[in-house]
Chain A
Amino acid sequence: MNPDAIRESVRRVLHAIAPEADLDSVGPGTDFRAELDLDSMDFLRFITGLHAELGVEVPEADYRKLGTLDGCVSYLAARAPAAGTP
């Protein structure tokens, strides 16, 4: 799956949980949880939302890799099924 599509998904999922959060205000390599005032319940819902949207199962041990936009892109790009594949 291409990085732009993943970025779009991350934005969509995050927006549904924290509509007030502006991901553009945080650098792509910066941990957005503290910057955007997300608590651990928000983050859990974020991971669950990504699973629902992209079909990527994220084991708890990997959660920390999804704390930045760049981290999300590199983690999910390697695992999300390419568009068009069933």
Chain B
Amino acid sequence: MTRERIHKASVVGGPAPNLSDYDEACRTFSWEAAARALDGLPGGGGLNIAHEAVDRHAVGASSARVALRCLGADGVVRDTTYAGLRALTNRFANVLSALGVLPGDRVFALLGRVPALYVAALGALKHGDVFCPLFSAFGPEPIRARLSLGEARVLVTTEALFRRKVAALLPALPELRHVLLVDAREDPPGSPGVHALGPWMERASEAWTIAPTSPETPALLHFTSGTTGRPKGALHVHGAVVAHHATAAFALDLKPGDIFWCTADPGWVTGTSYGLVAPLTHGLTCIIDEGEFEAERWYSVLQDQRVTNWYTAPTAVRMLMRAGEALPKRYDLSALRFIASVGEPLNPEAVLWSVAALGRPIHDNWWQTETGGIMIANFASMDIKPGSMGKPLPGIAAAIVKRTLDGGVAVIDAPDTDGELALRPGWPSMFRAYLHEEQRYKKCFADGFYLSGDLARRDAEGYFWFIGRSDDVIKTAGHLIGPFEVESALLEHPAVAEAGVIGKPDPVALEIVKAFVSLKPGYEASDALQLELMGFARKRLGSAVAPREIAFLATLPRTRSGKIMRRLLKARELGLPEGDTSTLEAGA
């Protein structure tokens, strides 16, 4: 591992970072004080994310400031001011009322990076509903599973996504009463409950008063994946906005007047906490890029939009690295002050590349869907040890622990010792439940710690280093994929008898999804069948979740209790020692 250290004392110029003295900030910080940076609903009506993100900036001089600058796939730039965003989100809240949607209902979005997504999210929060984004690259099966588990009442999507991925699911989703199509001009015939959103928005009033919501009122639902079973719906509350706001100031160094670009898709938690909520609570201009990754275009966006703070992902950084060091030097990146990344560990080479190619380091940070906000980060004022995720934020107590036989945990104080990364609960954006799965939620906590499932170590200076997952969840291109969800889809194919899915190391995406399958009698392994299974899985799961490689095995290794040994499949894939196989049923 590279031990080259990037000294911040040698970096000159620019304004002083928000967090200039880490130790002092940790000593003096309190969440109560952090909450005072927000306004609260007028008249003591509690706390609502949408008020902090939109309405409080939609008065006076800041109302004319651009909140959202959407760079359309068609090349057109669409600006929405804070005043405009207030009006649109108010209209959307009124549309929900007119449809008979009740506060507390769950409003889902299946959309790409378009302004309508932001309007739907913030309008739903104004209405008192729980908003849940879905990744638009999901196939029909992950969409159905999440809409069903989340008991979606409303889905906001496009005509094309509805036609291709949702229409056929409707009979299986009785709770889903309304589908709102953001780009349809009129209601599609023969589909009751499916509406063109435009006419409803035009009829709706621009006036809306947010009803009281408390810091503990549910606000956001994000699905994540476990090793076994169904996706888990991590539920967050309005009070999370305190953490979104404070952590963005510390770990992304957001300052008044900044232009912020978060490249994460809003279908995932990063794209919501930091692509939507945090920059707006700071009253900044958010860049929304509708297009897909392209190195040259990304550099153009950084240059032309004068982006000051950029939050991206390691996979994207590694793709930029492939485009070479010379390319960014053709662009004027002088406005860029702070770069951060999240999703999977940023390899040391990428940090050093960034210094050479972009003239500034990338600050990696760590958090999860469950934590709702950044927990451990490299700060603007702090030396970077490339490859490290940095240090805990002020207000966050992190530890390395090991699980004990009695179901508790023991804290590991010795530096440079592998263990599980654990956090002391109490920060405002911590998840409050896995929807309808109390046992699974309880299992995340022991002896006063939240157990992250990530293995890490802490060095003598207090920097944390990611080691791997303690379970079989796959980290690919910044997304968590549950092997069970992929295996279940493959098992629906008539030829497949067994399926085991692992993360195979990949130089760009960290891991790619690889499946091993055994076939039922009467089926022969062949290239044609392999392609058929790939296509079958992609149609159900979508490109982001489906396996990129499928291999045939005569039989899959199982434990005596019948569980497929994914770890053994992975060890074999990597050519590693297979370890103790004594519990195996069939050491195929």
Contact = CB atoms under 8 A, between A and B. Distances in A.
A41 B512 contact: yes
A41 B508 CA distance: 8
B531 A41 contact: no
A85 to B, nearest CB: 28
A9 to B, nearest CB: 16
Contacts of A20: 534-536, 538-539
A33 B548 contact: no
Interface string B268-298: 0000000000000000000000001111110
A44 interface: yes
A44 B319 contact: yes
Contacts, number: 65
Contacts of B297: 64
Report the contact-size class of chain A (Cβ under 8 Å from the partner). 20 to 34
A18 interface: yes
Interface string A10-54: 000001111110000000000001100111111111000000000
Interface stretch (B179-187, B238-246, B321-329, B364-372): B321-329
A27 B139 CA distance: 23
A61 interface: yes
Contacts of B139: 37
A18 B543 contact: yes
Given A19-B532, A40-B292, A41-B512, A61 B538 contact: no
A8 interface: no
Contact of A60 (B322, B538, B544): B322
Given A39-B543, A61-B323, A18 B293 contact: no
B480 to A, nearest CB: 15
B531 A37 contact: no
A47 B585 CA distance: 42
A19 B535 contact: yes
A64 B544 contact: no
Nearest to B330: A61
A61 B327 contact: yes
Given A34-B292, A40-B293, A16 B542 contact: no
Which 6 pairs show the lowest CB-CB distances between chains A and B?
Answer: A19-B535, A60-B323, A20-B535, A19-B531, A40-B293, A39-B543
Interface of B: 73, 137, 139, 292-297, 315, 319, 322-324, 327, 476-477, 508-509, 512, 531-532, 534-536, 538-539, 542-544, 548
Interface of A: 15-20, 33-34, 37-45, 59-61, 63-64
